[in-house]
Amino acid sequence: MGSFVLIMKKIITAIFFLVPLICLSQTDVLILLKNGKNIKTYAPGEPIMIHTVYDQWLGGTLTDLKNDSVYINNIPFHVNEVDGLRKDFSKLHLQNAGTILIIAGVGVLALNVINGLYTNESAGTWIKASGYITAGAFIIAGILMRSARFKNYPIGKKYTLHYLNLRPKSISTGNHSNTTEPAKQPDAH
């Protein structure tokens, strides 16, 4: 009975160490860099919005990254066809908060006017400098929040997009060439 337990421990240990060698758990990633510094890393399953060289904005879920291709909702695009990326801030509800701040700024002005009418002050003294500053700050902050729905990252000098291949190369296919380089055409002599 003791030798059976020892054999089972060895088999379980071997399986425990061999299973990670067989499994493919890594996937390729897309890295957005600003002057060489990482801004965002995209992996399959994340929402993404791209601008193509064909002047189209396409958004959806990044379904796969394979062979220098970006699959958005299972539609492939080569990484060189991506001309820009857009980060969407609509989940932060900046539109609603901006509207509330604009209403609050107008409300501060209205409250000062109503208070001035109630206290029978002259029309020029209804709104003090602090009221103008407060209302102006609310209104400007609200306008900025309403306009900050997304940020564009145009690919070029400042922003670069790198495709990082993390998948191991398959030896069984017999293809040992580098898939990121274009195919060489023979000379036509």
Angstrom distance (rounded) from CA 40 to CA 130: 41
With 60 as the cut, is the pLDDT of residue 183 above it?
no
For residue 104, the model assigns a pLDDT of 92
For residue 92, the model assigns a pLDDT of 64
For residue 170, the model assigns a pLDDT of 55
- Does the global pTM surpass 0.75? no
Return the ∠ at Cα 70 (arms to 65 and 71), rounded to 5°. 85
Which residue matches tokens 């020029």?
Answer: 124
pLDDT digit string, tens, across residues 138-170: 999 988 888 777 788 899 889 998 888 877 665
pLDDT digit string, tens, across residues 31-76: 989 998 998 888 888 888 999 999 888 888 999 888 888 899 998 9
Residue ranges covered by each domain of the chain: 24-88+150-164, 92-147
For residue 91, the model assigns a pLDDT of 66
3 state SS for 80-109 = HHEEEEEEECHHHCHHHHHHHHHHHHHHHH
With 60 as the cut, is the pLDDT of residue 187 above it?
no
For residue 168, the model assigns a pLDDT of 65
With 60 as the cut, is the pLDDT of residue 20 above it?
yes
For residue 121, the model assigns a pLDDT of 84
The answer for residues whose C-beta is within 8 angstroms of residue 22's C-beta and 6 or more apart is: none
Q: Mean per-residue pLDDT for 79-95?
A: 79
Instruction: Phi first, then psi: give them for residue 157, nearest 5 degrees.
Output: -70, -50
Q: Which two tokens stand for residue 30?
A: 């897309």
For residue 90, the model assigns a pLDDT of 65
Angstrom distance (rounded) from CA 33 to CA 41: 9
For residue 169, the model assigns a pLDDT of 65
Angstrom distance (rounded) from CA 189 to CA 179: 27
pLDDT digit string, tens, across residues 95-139: 788 889 999 999 998 988 888 888 888 877 878 888 889 999 999
